[in-house]
Amino acid sequence: VLRGKNLGKFNFRDKMLHKIINLTVRDVRFPTSLDQHGSDAMHTDPDYSAAYVVLDTDSGLTGFGLTFTLGKGTEIVVCAVEALARLVVGKCLQEIVSDFRGFYRLLTSDSQMRWLGPEKGVIHLATAAVLNAVWDLWARTEGKPLWKLLVDMEPKQLVSCIDFRYITDVLTEEEALDLLVKAQEGKQHREDQMQKEGYPAYTTSCAWLGYPDEQLKQLCTDALKSGWTRFKVKVGADLEDDVRRCRIIRQMIGPDNTLMIDANQRWDVAEAISWVSKLAEFRPLWIEEPTSPDDILGHAAISKCQNRVMFKQFLQASALQFVQIDSCRLGSVNENLAVLLMAHKFNVPVCPHAGGVGLCELVQHLILFDYICVSADLRNRMCEYVDHLHEHFTCPVVIQDAHYMPPKDPGYSCEMLESTVQRHQYPEGNVWKNMKK
Identify whether 234 is a catalytic site residue: yes
Q: Which is nearer to a second copy, 125 or 367 (CB)?
A: 125
Which residue type does 416 have? Answer: M
Least gap, CB of 59 to a second copy (angstroms): 30
CA–CA gap between residue 92 and residue 71 (Å, rounded): 33
Looking at residue 411, the DSSP 8-state letter turns out to be B
Residue 336's CB is within 10 A of a number of other CB atoms, namely: 28
Instruction: Decide the pairing of beta strands 287-288 and 49-57.
Output: unpaired
Q: Which is nearer to a second copy, 230 or 308 (CB)?
A: 308
413 Rama sector, left if φ>0, alpha if ψ -120 to 50, beta otherwise:
left
CA–CA gap between residue 97 and residue 79 (Å, rounded): 25
Least gap, CB of 274 to a second copy (angstroms): 12
Of the candidates 124, 232, 344, 353, the residue annotated as catalytic is 353
Looking at residue 307, the DSSP 8-state letter turns out to be S
Residue 257's CB is within 10 A of a number of other CB atoms, namely: 17
Of the candidates 18, 144, 148, 234, the residue annotated as catalytic is 234
Q: Which is nearer to a second copy, 201 or 276 (CB)?
A: 276
CA–CA gap between residue 174 and residue 46 (Å, rounded): 43
What are residue 38's phi and psi, to 5 degrees? Answer: 80, 5
Q: Answer whether 89's CB lies under 8 Å from 135's CB.
A: no
Residues forming the site for a second copy (CB under 8 A): 42-47, 69-73, 75-77, 79-80, 83, 109-125, 164-169, 265, 268-271, 291-298, 306-307, 309-310, 312-313, 316-317
Q: Which is nearer to a second copy, 70 or 378 (CB)?
A: 70
**Cα 363 versus chain centre, distance:** 4
**Closest of 414, 298, 362 to residue 53, by C-alpha:** 414
Least gap, CB of 214 to a second copy (angstroms): 25
Q: Which is nearer to a second copy, 239 or 270 (CB)?
A: 270
Burial of 156 (0-12, 13-18, 19+ CB in 10 A): exposed
Q: Which is nearer to a second copy, 20 or 126 (CB)?
A: 126
**Closest of 277, 305, 311 to residue 289, by C-alpha:** 305
Least gap, CB of 271 to a second copy (angstroms): 8
Least gap, CB of 206 to a second copy (angstroms): 21
Least gap, CB of 35 to a second copy (angstroms): 16
Q: Which residues are catalytic?
A: 234, 353
